[in-house]
C-alpha cells in the first residue's frame, strides 16, 4: 500500500469517526462523542489528514459541537466567536467563510 492510499484510508476513517461523534453528541452522549473526536484527531495527526472538521469540535476538551446545546456562536464586528459551553474555551474566526468548513 502506498502512502497516498494509506492517507486516503485514514481520511475515510476520520470522516467516519466524526460521523459517529456527531451521532452520539446529538443524542446527548457527549463522553462517547469526545472519545470518537479524540481518536479522529489522533488518526489525522498521524496521517496528516486535511483538517476539514476543525470547527465542529472543541480543540481544548474535544467536545463535538451541537449548537445551541453545548456551543455558543456569536458574531461581533468581523469576527465569529465560538464558545465551548463544556470547558469555556473561546475560538475566534474571521467572518466570511461558512462555519463548518
- On whether the CB atoms of residues 86 and 70 are closer than 8 A, the answer is yes
Minimum separation from the CB atom of position 43 to Zn ion (A): 20
- Coil, strand or helix at 61: coil
Rounded Cα distance, 20 and 36, in Å: 7
Using rule CB under 5 A, residue 20 touches Zn ion: no
Using rule CB under 5 A, residue 37 touches Zn ion: no
Grid coordinates representing 94? 474571521
- Coil, strand or helix at 10: helix
Pick the piece of the chain touching Zn ion (CB under 5 A) from 33-41, 47-55, 65-73, 80-88: 80-88
Pick the piece of the chain touching Zn ion (CB under 5 A) from 4-12, 18-26, 49-57, 59-67: 59-67
Is it true that the peptide bond before 13 is cis, omega within 30 degrees of 0? no
| Closer residue to Zn ion (CB): 23 or 86 | 86
Single residue of 60, 74, 79, 92 touching Zn ion by CB under 5 A: 60
- Residue ranges that bind Zn ion, judged by CB under 5 A: 58, 60-61, 63, 84, 86-87, 89
Amino acid at each position: 500500500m502506498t502512502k497516498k492510499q494509506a492517507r486516503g484510508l485514514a481520511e475515510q476513517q476520520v470522516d467516519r469517526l466524526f460521523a459517529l461523534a456527531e451521532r452520539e453528541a446529538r443524542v446527548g452522549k457527549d463522553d462517547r462523542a469526545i472519545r470518537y473526536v479524540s481518536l479522529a484527531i489522533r488518526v489525522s495527526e498521524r496521517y496528516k489528514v486535511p483538517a476539514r472538521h476543525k470547527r465542529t469540535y472543541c480543540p481544548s476538551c474535544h467536545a463535538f459541537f451541537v449548537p445551541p446545546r453545548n456551543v455558543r456562536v456569536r458574531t461581533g464586528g468581523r469576527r465569529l466567536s465560538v464558545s465551548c459551553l463544556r470547558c469555556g474555551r473561546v475560538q475566534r474566526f474571521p467572518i466570511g467563510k461558512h462555519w463548518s468548513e
